[in-house]
Structures are given as C-alpha cells and as structure tokens.
Amino acid sequence: MLELTVFLSGALVMVLEMVGARVLAPHVGTSAVVWTSLIGVMLACLALGAWVGGRAADKAHSRRGLALALAGAGLGSGLVALCHEAVGGWVTEAVGNLYAAAMLAAVCIFAVPAFFFGMVTPYAIRLRISSVDSSGATVGRLYALSTAGSIVGTFLGGFILISFFGSTAILWGVGACMLGLSLCNGGGRVRLRAALLLVCGLMAALSAGYGRWSEASGMNRLVESPYNSIRVFDGVDWAQSGRAVRLMATDPGYSQSGMLLDAPDELYFRYTQFYALGPYFVPGAKRVLMLGGGGYSVPRWLLSAASPLGKAPDARITVVELDPAMTATARRWFGLRDDPRLTIRHEDARAFLNRQADAYDLVFVDVFNSHYAVPFQMGTVEAAAALRRAVRPGGVLIMNVISAVRGPDARLFQGIFNALRQSFALVQVYCAGAEPPDRLQNLMLAAFTDARAPVAESAPAPPDIEGMLATLYGGDTHFATPALTDDFAPVERYTLPLLRR
C-alpha cells in the first residue's frame, strides 16, 4: 500500500500543478512569469513539506502520521477549490505588479496542499525502511515510484482532465483522492475523514454539474482547454449607441475578440478594421493566410459581402489557430460557419510556417500569449524569414503588435520591426489606436515584398481607408532595440512594463 500511495500522490501533485495554471490564468494570465511563480512556489512548499515530514517521521514513524499528511493534502486541495476565485480576485485588485501578483497568488492558493504533499514521500520512506543495509534501494524505489506517478499525473492532467472537466471539479477530485488514500493508510478519526471524503466527492460532482448547467443556461460561459481559459460574456457598448456586444477574454482585464450581436460580420475592435488595408494594398488578392483565429472576426469579415474578397467565389482563406477550443467557441458563440472557402488548421503558427510551402497574397498575423506578449517565436528574425516565404511577390503581411513606437514601452515593437525589416523590402507601421507614437496601443505593421508599397491609384481610397492611411508613422525608423532572434527574444521582459497601464 505504501508504494501505491507514493505513486498516486506523485501523480496527484502534478495534476494539482497542471490545473494550477488554469486557476491562476483569469487573475494573472498565463505568461512565463506565471508559470515560473507557480512552479517555484510548488517546489518550495514541497521542499519545506519534505523537510518537516522527514523530521516528524523520525520522531513518530507511524501510519497515523502518514494518514494525517495525506488528509492535509486532501483538505488543502479542497480549500483551493473552495477559495481560489476569491483569493485570485483579491490579489488582482491588491497588487499591480505582475511578478508580485503571480507569486502572491501562487503562495496564497497552493502553499497549503503543496506543503502536505511534500510530507508524504519522506513519511513513506521512513515507514518502509527496515534495515540500513537496504535503505538506499528503498529510497531509490520509492522516489522512482513518486517520479513515475508525477509523469502519469502530468499527462493525465494536461491531456485529459483539463480538456474534459473544470478546474474546480478537478481540485475537488484531487482532494477526494487524497482523503481516500488517507483512509486506506489507517490512523485515527476514520469517520471524520470518511465524511470529508464524501463531501469532496459530492462537491466535485456538483461542481462539474453546475459548470455544465451554467454554460447551457448562458449564465457562465467558461471553456477550459490545455491552452487557454476562455471566458465569453455579453455587454453593452454605450459608445456605439448602446449596441449589444459579445466579448471573449483569455486574460484578466482584456478582451481578445468582440462581436456586435446585431451585426456579427462587422469588425468590432478598431485595430481589426486595419486588416482592410490588405485588400486595399493588393486589390486582386484571392488567397489569405490568417495566423491566430481567436473569435474569427477577421475571417468572418473576409468571407462576408462587406469585404472585397467576399465577392470572389474563388477566394481561399486559411486560418491557423493553435487551440481547437477557440474554434469551437467561435462556432458556438461568435457565428463562425462552415464555408468551402475557409480552411482551419489547428497547430502552432510558427510550426505551420516552417513546414508549408505555399505563398499567399495576404498574410495576417494576430497571435498573442498572455497580456500583451506576442509569442516569442513569432517575432524573431527566423520567423520573419518564414513569413516572407509565405507572402507571394507583390503581396503584403499585416501584423498586430501591442506596444508603443517610441520611448520606454517600445522595445517589443522595435525588436519585431527590425526583425521584419531583414526579410521584407519595406515595413510600415500604423498607429491603430490613434494615439501619439510614445503611447501604448495596437500597432499594425505592414510589410511589403517590394520597396514601394502597392496602392490602388486608379481611384481615391474610401474614407475609412483614408483614415487608416493617415495614421502611418512618419518618424525615424532606425530603432536601437536589436531584432529578436530565436536564440534571444525577451518579449515578456519587454512587455512587463506595459502592464502598469
């Protein structure tokens, strides 16, 4: 039983850690800073628990002590399930610095269960050792079992549980499993632990059932996948005469996609309207590659009658979206429909670019990790070369970057700009937020294969296009920030100062 206990506790602690990223995402995002904080806090608490558990086992190495450690891990996991939303919300409101907020959230939410998980293996080792002569083999065997369990728990949590169950239900399930292990290892207060086990199991079932009911009733639209924690909610845009709008968010405080409910094919966010520059620069465009689907507002607009491409029956649009749950969300709540002109690929955008050999008239890039961070692999010199191969001669690339053009908040944009300039003949930047160049905003980078940007000179540009063209940055573009590379692309360090906004 000790070996099974060590194996299962090793698996469950990794399930706890994997679901921890989903628990923290609505409050502090999913950046490398958040993962670093979560992993660091978990390891620190596991180490502290191992130290305390080892000392306690030497003083009184009994099954009762192991059972109490297991029960502590179970109760701690149940406490996380019960309180993580309140604690995460409090941290978000109280702390403005991402480093501090991520660390504090990880400590407040996961310190207790991680500490008790750390006590389990030293207790089990002390109980199993019967002779000094075989102690090395015993320690090695139990640590190997714990590590093997952690491997199983990693794949179980990342590949299966997160895809089929909500975070809160998984946490209640972890608590119930640890309390079940506590009962199997004996010790006092059996009835109390049995009652707690029953409560955790019931709460896990209720949590899963409530999540399905609230989603079906429209009260709470939350979709969790191995990549994102996706929230969908409705609101009213009073700046547009009180029109109803539906928004999608994957990070705290930001909306990644939006749709006017009375005009689903319109482009809601101003920056998305700048993708209309693509058909303007390349009037005969028929083939479009969109990297990053999100709510699929741009692909839906491209296929609609409002777009120049929408009138062409031979137009072809390929969308590369990493997360299948994003596409499913767009189909369910954002009006994405099947269309013979639309091809959807679920894979990493850079991996797609590295492998594909086709060339497109227009390539649109709208990919983000957490907060303002473009995935580092999409802003480097090597990525720019792959993007250039995807743009046919005479075509254009348009890329969305959230940054400033000049000043201390401009390093992300400047690094990506300098990377693109090494592969494209001409790179322009449009301030889509209509803000001064030193202000944080959506910047639309237009990269051309020719030294002179193609324009439709036969007729004056429509008023909306004229307004976009007027936002062209005309200042000095010899930026000091070095181009990002696959070897060195500190995009999160560049974007962290922007979070103060």
In whole angstroms, give the CA distance from residue 6 to residue 348. 36
Is 242 part of a structural domain of the chain? Answer: no
Q: Are residues 131 and 20 in the same domain?
A: yes
Q: Are residues 277 and 209 in the same domain?
A: no
Last-in-domain residue among 219, 236, 254: 219
d(CA 265, CA 297): 7
Of 207, 175, 229, 165, give the one whose Cα is nearest residue 22.
229
Q: Does a structural domain hold residue 161?
A: yes
**pLDDT digit string, tens, across residues 45-80:** 999 999 999 999 888 777 888 888 998 999 999 999
> Which CATH number covers residue 88?
1.20.1250
Do residue 111 and residue 178 come from a single domain?
yes
Question: Is 326 inside a domain boundary?
Answer: yes
State residue 429's pLDDT score.
97
Q: What is the pLDDT of residue 498?
A: 60
Do 200 and 323 lie in one domain? The reply is: no
SS3 readout for 256-307: CEEEECCECCCCCCHHHHHHHHHHHHCCCCCEEEEECCCCCHHHHHHHCCCC
Residue with tokens 């944080």: 440
For residues 290 and 380, membership in a common domain is answered with yes
Report the pLDDT value the prediction gives residue 47, as an integer from 0 to 100: 97
The per-residue b/e assignment along 32-41, b for 16 or more CB within 10 angstroms, e otherwise, is ebbbebbeeb
What is the structure's pLDDT at 151?
96
Cα 382 to Cα 376: distance, rounded to the nearest angstrom: 11
What is the CB neighbour count within 10 angstroms for residue 62?
Answer: 15
Do 347 and 198 belong to one domain? Answer: no
- In this structure, the answer to whether residues 285 and 388 fall within a common structural domain is yes
Tell me how far apart the alpha carbons of residues 335 and 31 are, in angstroms, rounded to a whole number: 29
- Residue 231's Cα: distance from chain center in Å? 12
pLDDT for 211 equals: 55
Please, where are the H alpha helices in 95-131?
98-128
Q: Is residue 202 domain-shared with residue 321, that is, in the same domain?
A: no
Do 429 and 306 share a structural domain?
yes
Show the tokens assigned to 210.
Answer: 């409530």
- Contact present, 22 and 224 (Cβ < 8 Å): yes
Cβ-based neighbour number of residue 320 at 10 Å: 23
| Distant-in-sequence, close-in-space partners of 12: CB < 8 Å, separation ≥ 6 | 73, 117, 149, 153, 174, 177, 178
Note the pLDDT of residue 458: 47
Q: What is the pLDDT of residues 457-479, one digit of tens each?
A: 545 788 899 999 999 999 999 99
CA dist 82 → 20, 65, 77, 144 (Å): 14, 25, 9, 32
- Residue 501: what pLDDT? 47
In a domain, 253, yes or no: no
The C-alpha angle with vertex 406 and arms to 362 and 400, in degrees rounded to 5, equals 25
Picking from 178, 203, 219, the residue at the C-terminal end of a domain is: 219
The total number of structural domains that make up the chain? 2
The segments of the chain whose pLDDT lies below 50 read 458, 501
Residue 448 lies in a domain: yes
Are residues 208 and 306 both part of a single domain? no
Angle between helices 190-217 and 63-94 (to 10 degrees): 30
Q: Are residues 311 and 182 in the same domain?
A: no
Domain that holds residue 389: 272-500
Question: Counting beta carbons within 10 angstroms of the beta carbon of residue 158, is it exposed (0 to 12), middle (13 to 18) or buried (19 or more)?
Answer: middle
Beta bridge partners of 254: 251
Beta carbons within 8 Å of 242's beta carbon, 6+ residues apart: 236
Report the DSSP beta bridge partners of residue 403.
441
- At 435 the three-state DSSP class reads coil
CA distance 203 to 79: 12
Distance of CA 412 to the CA centre of its chain: 19
Question: 270-300 in b/e burial notation, b at 16+ Cβ within 10 A?
Answer: ebbbbbbbbbbbbeebebbbbbbbbbbbbbb
Answer whether residue 227 is part of any domain.
no
Residue 320 has a pLDDT of 97
Residue 262 lies in a domain: no
Task: Give the CATH number of the domain where residue 339 resides.
Answer: 3.40.50.150
Instruction: Give alpha helix (H) positions in 185-264.
Output: 190-217
Q: Do 291 and 185 fall into the same domain?
A: no
- Interior CA angle at 16 toward 104 and 97, to 5°? 20
Cβ count within 10 A of residue 351: 13
Note whether residue 243 is domain-resident.
no
